Amino acid sequence: MMRRTIPLFITAFVGSILVIAYFIPHPPFDQLREDFSIFFDIIAAVAFILGGGNLIRMHGNRVSRREKGYGYSLVTVIGFALVLVIGLTKMGNPDGFRNSSVTAAGSYFDLAYQYVFRPCAATMFALLAFYVASASFRAFRAKNVEASILLLVAFIILVGRTFVGAWLTAWLPPSLDFLTIPYLADKIMTVLNFAGNRAIMIGIALGIVSTSLKVIIGIDRSYLGSG
Amino acid sequence: MSRFIRFVETFNSLDKRWIFLAVGVAVVTATIFRLTFPEIPTPMVRAIYDKVETLPVGSRVLLPFDYDPGSEPELQPMADAFVRQCAEKGLKMYFIALWPLGQSMVEGVINRVLLEEYPQLRYGEDYVDLGYKSGGEGVIAVILTDLKKLYTTDARGTNIEAIPMMAGIANIRGFDLILNVSAGYPGLKEWIQYAGTPGNIPTAGGCTAVQAPLLYPYHPDQMLGLMGGIKAAAEYEALMMEGYPKFAENKARYLTALTRMGPQTVAHLAIIFFIVAGNVAYQIMRRRKGAAR
Amino acid sequence: MPSTAPRPAGRSGRGRRRGAPPGRPALLLAALCLLLAAPAPGQEVPPLPADPPAEAARPQPPAPPPPPPAEVRAADTPSDSGRSVTVRWSPPAEPAGAGGPLLGFRIERATGADGPFAAVGQAPPGAVRYDDTGVDNGVAYYYRVVATRLDAETASAVAGPAIPRPQWINTNQWNVFLILALLLGFNLYFIEHIKAGGKPFIRKIAGLEAVTEAVGRATEMGRPILFVPGIQDMNDIQTVAGVTILGYIARTTAEYDSRLTVPTSRALVMTTARETVKEAYLSAGRPDSYDESSIYYITDEQFGYVAGVNGYMVRERPATCFYMGAFYAESLILAETGNSIGAIQVAGTAQPAQLPFFVAACDYTLIGEELFAASAYLSGEPKQLGSIKGQDVGKLLGMVSIVIGVTVLSLALVTGWEPLRRAAEFVREFWSTELA
C-alpha cells in the first residue's frame, strides 16, 4: 500500500501546489515552477547513469555472447567508451586539462563532435527529403473528392514554394493577384492550415487539462506501473 | 496487355528506391551545376529586413540561436544573414542560446562571419556571447527582469561587469530587437510569449518550414516577421543582395540559402512530377479496372 | 522542404481504413476557427507622433521647452512578485510638434521627495507607462518623468511614495482561473455522473479499435511488436499518455504471448516503461513472460535514437509499430521505415506539425486530443470516461466563445457602435493571458 500511497500523495500535493502557484505571485510561489523544473533536470541527469549503464550492459552482453548483429553493439560500446574517455580527460585540448572547457576548439571531443556527430545528425535529417518524396507519391492519390481537393492544395503549396509558382501565374493582371499561386499558397498556409491547426491545438490543450487532472487526483496511475 | 499499360502498372506501384534515386540525381545535378533561381521576398521576410535596416547604429539586438546540427542546413543561412546585416548596420549583437548545442552554433557564426568578414569588430564592444543556460522559458522570464541574475559571466568565462557593452544593462527590456533562430522548443514562440509581448520588445526570427504554420498566429501584433525554412532565408539573402550588392560577388559564401534553394527547387519539381505521374497512372489503371468489370 | 498535407482518407491495399477523419466536433471547431479573423492580441503601444517638418536653413530662435508630462503617478505594480513600481503619466498637454520633436521620457527615481533623483530608464515618445524593476520591497520611492527635446527638457511634478510589495493573488489572471475552474468542474462532474451510472456516448476511435487486431497480426506472423513512446521525457504529458497506452498494449501482448520491444530515448522513460509493462504482464497472469531487456535505452539524441530504432525495424521487421508520444522531425523517418517493412502502424501525437506525416504514412493516427483520450477509451473505466466528456464540454465552451467573439467583433467593426466595441474589447481581453 505504501508503494502506491506515498507516490500518489506526492503527485497530488505537488501537482495541486504548482497549479495554485500560477495564481500566486508572492515568493516562494513565484519561483516554484522554475525550481521544480530544475529539480526534474537534476533527476533526469542522474537517471542518465541508469540509461548509460543499461546501454553498456545490453550491448556488452550482445558482444560477449556473439549474438546476431553484435558488430553494431561493438561499435556502440567502442564509441561510447571512446568519447567518454576523451571528454573526461580533455584529451588533445590545446590549453590542457585545467584551463579550458571540454568543448574547446581543437580538442578531440570537439573533433568527434564536428566530424562524426554533426555529419551523422545532418545525414539522418537529410533522409527526410527522400522520405517526403516517397510518402507524397504514395499518399497523394485522387481516390475521391476529399482526396482530390487535398491533392490540389498540396500541388499549390509545393509549386508555390518555388519560383515556378510565381512564373506560372506571372501573366495574371494585378486585379487578379489573388489567383496567383504564391498568393494562394500563402493564404492556404496562413488561413486554412492555421485554422485547422488552431482547432487541433485547442483540442490538445483540453486533452492536457483532462489528463493532468486524472494524474493529479489519482485516477490515472500509469506512471506507477498500473493503469 | 500493351507495353504502355504494363509500364503504367509498374509505375503505379513503383519501388520507392527509384524515387529516392530520382530525387538524389535531381539534387546532386542542381548542386554540381550550382543552379539558382530568382527569389521574390514575401512581406513577412521583408518586414524583418526593413526593421533591421531602420535601426540606428549602436542599437541592441538580442540573437538567441536555439537549434542544433540536425537543423543547421536549414537555419544556418538565416543566422549568418542576420549577423551580417547587424554587422553592416553597426548594431550591438548579444548572442545567447537556450539549446545546449545552440552554443556551438553561436561560436560557429562568430568564427565564420564576424572574425573572418568583420575583423574590425571587437568582442565585448560590438558583440558578446552570453552562452547557453538551461531552463527554457524560465531563462527568458528571468532575463526580462534581471539579466545579471543568471549571467554572471559570458560564455568565455569573463565577468559580465568587465564587458563594456554590458554596462548599464539590467535586463533585456531596453533591447531594440530580438532576432531568434529556432528549430523547436524552446524557440521563437517562447521568446514571443515570455519576452517580446510582456517586455514590448520587437521580436522576429526564423524557424524550420514545418514549424512556421504554428507561428503565423503571432504575426503581425506580436511578431513583426517570420522566416520559415530555407526558402525564406533565400528571400532574405535576395534582399541582402539588393541592399548590399557586394554579397553577390561570392554566392557560395554569402548566399548559401539561395544556393541551397536550387537543389530544393529541383527536388520539389521532382516530387511534383512523381505526384502528377502517379495520379495519371492511378487514374488510367482505375478506368481500366472499371472497364474490365 | 514544406510539410506534406494530410493524405486522403480511403481504403488501403490491405483492406484497412487508413487514418479515420477527425470527428464532427473537430471539423466544426476548425470551421469556426476559419471565421476568426482577428490575430492574436498583443500589448498596446501608443502610436508614434508624426515626423516633424524639415527645419529651414536660417538660424532659428531657441525652441521652447516641452510641456511636462501630466498626472504622473507611481504605485506598486499590482499582481506581481514584488520589486517593481509602475509609473504612469498622461501625454503632454500641447501637441508634441510645437517647438520640435519629443525625443522621449526619462524616468528618474529617488528615495526622498526632495531627491536626489537619478535616471533609471527611458521611454519612447508616446509612451504613458514605465515599469521600474530595480527596486527593493518595502522601500518608499519617489519618481518624476522628464520630457526631453533635443536641447530642452522639463520635469514633471514628483509622484510618490510608491512602496513595492509582492502580492498574494494575481488578479490579472482571473479569466484563466475562471476557465480552469469551469474545465475542472466539468471533468469532475462527469466523472461522478458516470460513476453513478450515467452512460456516456464515446465515438469509435479507429486507431484504438485496431490495437487488438494489430497485436493479433503480430502474433500470427510470429514477429515482434514495436512501441515507441516518443522522444521526450516523463515531464511531457504526451509521454505520460504514451506510457499509459503502453500498459494496455503490454497487457494485450501478454495475453497473446507476443514479443514486445520498447526502445526509449530517456532513461526515466525506460524505468517507467519497465514498471508499466511488468505490472501489465503481472495483471495478465504472465509474469514469466516479462523480459526486462526488451525495454531499453538508446540515446537522448534525436537522430541517434531514430537511427537505432530504424536499424531495429529493418533487422527484426516487427509486424506492428506503435508510435505514441511526442515526436519531432524523426516522425516521418520512423513511419516510412515502418511502411517499407510492411508493418501495420498506429501513431498518436499532440504535435500538430508532425500529424500530417503520421496521417500520410501510418494506417491509423490518433490526432491530438485522441491521444489523451486513449487511456480512458481503452480502459473503459467510468472514472476515466468522465474526463473525455469533460474534454468535450470544454470544446463546446470554446466553440460557443468563438461564435460569440467573432459575432461581436464583426458587428463592432461594421457598425462602430461604442457598446459593441467595448464588448468586443472585453471578449478579446477575457481570452488573453498575461504570461510574464
The residue extents of the domains of chain C are: 70-162, 171-186+384-430, 200-380
C200-380 CATH pick, 2.40.128, 3.30.70, 3.40.50, 1.10.150: 3.40.50
**How many angstroms separate the Cα of C54 from the Cα of each of B54, C96, C148?**
19, 15, 19
Contacts of C191 in chain A (CB under 8 A): 219
Contacts of A129 in chain B (CB under 8 A): 23, 27, 267
Q: What is the pLDDT of residues A65-118, one digit of tens each?
A: 999 889 999 999 999 999 999 999 998 888 778 777 787 778 899 899 989 998
Does B54 contact chain C (CB < 8 Å)?
no
Cβ partners under 8 Å of residue C273, min gap 6:
C229, C243, C246, C262, C264, C295
Number of CB atoms found within 10 A of residue C150's CB? 11
Does C135 contact chain A (CB < 8 Å)?
no
Look at residue C354 in the predicted model and tell me its pLDDT. Answer: 93
Q: What is the DSSP string of chain A?
A: -HHHHHHHHHHHHHHHHHHHHTT--STTHHHHHHHHHHHHHHHHHHHHHHHHHHHHHHHHHHHHHT-TTHHHHHHHHHHHHHHHHHHHTTTT-TTTTTSS-TT-TTSHHHHHIIIIIHHHHHHHHHHHHHHHHHHHHHH----SHHHHHHHHHHHHHHHHTSHHHHHHTTTS-GGGGGGSHHHHHHHIIIIIIHHHHHHHHHHHHHHHHHHHHHHHTTS--GGGT--
Confidence band for C58, pLDDT divided at 50, 70 and 90: low
What pTM value is reported for the model? Answer: 0.78
Indicate the burial class of C100 (C-beta count within 10 angstroms; 0-12, 13-18, 19 or more).
middle
Mean pLDDT of chain C: 83
Which residue do the cell numbers 546501454 mark?
A55
Indicate the burial class of C181 (C-beta count within 10 angstroms; 0-12, 13-18, 19 or more).
exposed
Question: Is C36 close to A195, i.e. CB distance below 8 A?
Answer: yes
SS3 C76: strand
Q: Percentage of residues in chain B with pLDDT exceeding 90?
A: 55
- Chain B residue nearest residue A154, CA to CA: B272
Substitution target in B44, B134, B216, B282 with the highest count of A β-carbons within 10 Å is B216
Contact C1/B264 with Cβ under 8 angstroms? yes
Separation in Å, CA of A167 to nearest CA in chain B: 10
Separation in Å, CA of A193 to nearest CA in chain B: 7
SS3 C194: helix
Subunits that touch chain A (at least 3 Cβ pairs < 8 angstroms)?
A: B, C
Contacts of B136 in chain A (CB under 8 A): 37
Q: What is the pLDDT of residues C12-29, one digit of tens each?
A: 333 333 333 444 555 555
Q: What is the pLDDT of residues B56-87, one digit of tens each?
A: 999 999 999 999 887 888 999 999 999 999 99
Q: What is the pLDDT of residues C267-288, one digit of tens each?
A: 999 999 999 999 999 999 999 9
CATH code linked to domain C70-162: 2.60.40.10
* Mean pLDDT of all residues in A168-182: 86
Q: Which residues pair with C10 in a beta bridge?
A: C18
Confidence band for C99, pLDDT divided at 50, 70 and 90: low
Q: Which of B41-50, B259-268, C95-104, C314-323 shows the highest mean pLDDT?
A: C314-323
SS3 C181: helix
Name the least confident of A83-97, A138-152, B273-287, C98-112.
C98-112
End-to-end CA, chain B: 16
Q: Which of B216-230, C177-191, C297-311 shows the highest mean pLDDT?
A: C297-311
A39 half-sphere exposure, CB direction, 13 A CA radius: 7
Contact C415/C399 with Cβ under 8 angstroms? no
Contacts of B270 in chain A (CB under 8 A): 133
What nine digits make up the cell of A194? Answer: 492555421
CA–CA separation, C333 and C435 (whole Å): 36
Confidence band for C42, pLDDT divided at 50, 70 and 90: very low
* Mean pLDDT of all residues in C164-172: 92
Look at residue C94 in the predicted model and tell me its pLDDT. Answer: 60
Question: Is B104 close to A41, i.e. CB distance below 8 A?
Answer: no
Does B267 contact chain C (CB < 8 Å)?
yes
**How many angstroms separate the Cα of A128 from the Cα of each of B211, B239, B253, C3, C250?**
15, 29, 25, 10, 31
Contact C263/C312 with Cβ under 8 angstroms? yes
Look at residue B154 in the predicted model and tell me its pLDDT. Answer: 92
CA–CA separation, B276 and B192 (whole Å): 40
Q: What is the pLDDT of residues C291-327, one digit of tens each?
A: 999 999 999 999 999 999 999 999 999 999 999 999 9
Does B141 contact chain C (CB < 8 Å)?
yes
- Chain A residue nearest residue B219, CA to CA: A190
* Mean pLDDT of all residues in C206-217: 91
Nearest to A204 among C183, C234, C369 (CB): C369
What nine digits make up the cell of C342? Answer: 510492411
- Chain C residue nearest residue B229, CA to CA: C1
Number of CB atoms found within 10 A of residue A83's CB? 16
